[in-house]
Structure 1
Amino acid sequence: MKRTHLPLNALRVFDAAARHLSFTKAADELAVTPAAVGQQIRALEDTLGVVLFKRMTRNLELTPEAERSLPALRAGFLQFEESVRLLQDGQGSRVLTIAAPRDLTAKYLGARLAVYARSNPDVRFVISAIEGTPDFTQANLDLAIVYGGEPTEEGIHGRTLAVETLVTVAAPGADDALPRIAHPGDAMAPGLTVSDAGLAIDTAAAGLGSAQVPATLAAADLAAGRIRQVGEPEPTADAYWLIAPTPQWRQAKVRAMVEFLLG
């Protein structure tokens, strides 16, 4: 019999009836009526073309064929249970794998995850550094955060982490005329160039220049007084996006993290 045709529910009823040798007791275990158990057993016998029980006056007896089949059947159910456990462990609620740009993790995400962990001490995080959109078919990721325009990749669903603006920052007391620090998101500046916007913030804090960076990255350092804002924020069409393949948004752990980050 093909796997797609296996009468799994009826086999479960058969297992319960075989353990109790009673349709009534099997019905109590399965929370159905004795008549429903009897119907499942008759349908299974018709499907398999075998007799499973000898109907005695006051009880049931297994046929020799039915009795021989039970060890393999029960071993099969144990294998199903192990398969489900492995699936749940692989996407278990205690492990959350997130990919994000390195500077976002350093300047924003790490602190937010620390807050989340205090309320969810059983959760373990696996963080991967990325640039650009990750390949979810190659990486075992639950969620990713990317910077740029709205994701257009097929099968990827995104939500905006925050309405983004660009702020220019410099060290407290630094001259506003300091040269601008260039980074991949702001390559127009002459002179000093660094690898990412987070490093641009740190370089600006050291007094080596000013840097224009996403406000999300600068917020914590501005609040701590390590840097100051120069001028007014500027609008940008880019933003940080929470992205994942559409089916993964049904995972409870992904929904919980997204709600926390957006809250």
Structure 2
Amino acid sequence: MKRTHLPLNALRVLDAAARHLSFTRAADELAVTPAAVGQQIRALEETLGVVLFRRTAKGLELTPEGGAGLEALRRGFLEFEEAVRAMQAGQTSKTLTIAAPRDFTAKWLAARLAAYGRTDPELRFKLVAADEGLDFTEANLDLAVCLASSKGEHEGIEIGGSDYVTVAAPESGIEQPIGWPGSPDAEAEPLLFVADAGLAIDAAAAGFGRATVPAILAEADLASGRVIEEARVPGDKTYWLVAPVPQWRQKKVKALVAALSS
């Protein structure tokens, strides 16, 4: 069945004007001008084919036609508000579903989520590997991490900068690079090729050679002395926290982004 087009803005104006019996007070409630209220009422009268208000010596008066549907109209607005609250219920959830590359999760994200989780015992996290593209709808994601040159089509914030560092085990005597998908090293046949930058750092720490990786991934291993920094160069990609606008505007996502980017 085809639904009738409802002039919702005009109906909201009718409700306010009927309660106040004043276009001026209705305008104050709705944060518009009295002229705008009058225009909405006239347009609604033309649409419905009825007169809704009359001006009398005592002031504005609601016609029988105007009052006939008010009770149902106000019930409808209450139903709309209930529907909106139902749709927003997910924002009160303390569960966050995050997609991130495996090496980023292992080397940087997991420790920070653990620290953030300690601030609120109700927080829960679901981590999804994001090594092959992002689909926010299919995976019901709240937030994702990607290594890219820009945030792309989503809302986002850059974290960690774009520098790459070359790391090796302390006193390592092996000069050959360790390869991984996306490695900036041009060596065609490295001594060792691994699945990601996190494993490249681990291989370097084990003495297999030198790994050039995003600097943010090597922070903890450098700080612990597990590897040492031998060189640093600018890269053309950085890690981004991204999400479509509806997810990005959720309170729980905003709080998480603030915690991870501080």
How far has the Cα of 1:8 moved from its partner? Answer: 2.3
Work out whether 1:251 is the aligned partner of 2:245: no
Kept in 1: contact 2:103–2:196 (CA 8 A): yes
How far has the Cα of 1:167 moved from its partner? Answer: 1.9
Structural mapping, 1:89-104, within 5 Å: 89-90=89-90, 97-104=97-104
Sort the Cα spacing of 1:250 and 1:143 in 2 relative to 1 into closer, same or farther, 3 A: closer
Amino acid at match of 2:174: A
Q: TM-score, normalised by structure 2?
A: 0.67
How far has the Cα of 1:234 moved from its partner? Answer: 4.9
Work out whether 1:229 is the aligned partner of 2:228: yes
Sort the Cα spacing of 1:36 and 1:183 in 2 relative to 1 into closer, same or farther, 3 A: closer
Q: Identity over aligned residues, as a percent?
A: 49
How far has the Cα of 1:122 moved from its partner? Answer: 7.8
Q: CA RMSD in A?
A: 4.4
How far has the Cα of 1:251 moved from its partner? Answer: 3.2
Structural mapping, 1:1-263, within 5 Å: 3=5, 6-19=6-19, 22-23=21-22, 27=26, 29-30=29-30, 40-53=40-53, 58=58, 60=61, 63=64, 65-90=65-90, 97-114=97-114, 125-136=125-136, 138-147=138-147, 150=149, 155=153, 160-161=158-159, 162-170=161-169, 175-177=172-174, 183-186=180-183, 188-190=189-191, 194-205=194-205, 207=206, 209-210=208-209, 212=211, 213-225=213-225, 227-229=226-228, 232-235=230-233, 237-242=235-240, 244=242, 247=245, 251=249, 261-263=260-262
Rounded Cα–Cα distance in structure 1 between residues aligned with 2:176 and 2:95: 44
Rounded Cα–Cα distance in structure 2 between residues aligned with 1:124 and 1:8: 39
Rounded Cα–Cα distance in structure 1 between residues aligned with 2:174 and 2:38: 87
Rounded Cα–Cα distance in structure 2 between residues aligned with 1:255 and 1:16: 34
How far has the Cα of 1:100 moved from its partner? Answer: 1.2
Q: What SS class does the counterpart of residue 165 from structure 1 fall into?
A: strand
**Cα distance per residue 1:156-187 (max 9 Å; x no partner):** 576653122132232x5x64339866544458
Amino acid at match of 1:190: L
Sort the Cα spacing of 1:177 and 1:42 in 2 relative to 1 into closer, same or farther, 3 A: closer
Give 5+ residue unaligned stretches, structure 1: none
Give 5+ residue unaligned stretches, structure 2: none
Q: How many residues align?
A: 251
Rounded Cα–Cα distance in structure 2 between residues aligned with 1:80 and 1:45: 23
How far has the Cα of 1:201 moved from its partner? Answer: 3.3
Q: What SS class does the counterpart of residue 177 from structure 1 fall into?
A: coil
Rounded Cα–Cα distance in structure 2 between residues aligned with 1:203 and 1:13: 68
How far has the Cα of 1:50 moved from its partner? Answer: 1.4
How far has the Cα of 1:101 moved from its partner? Answer: 0.5
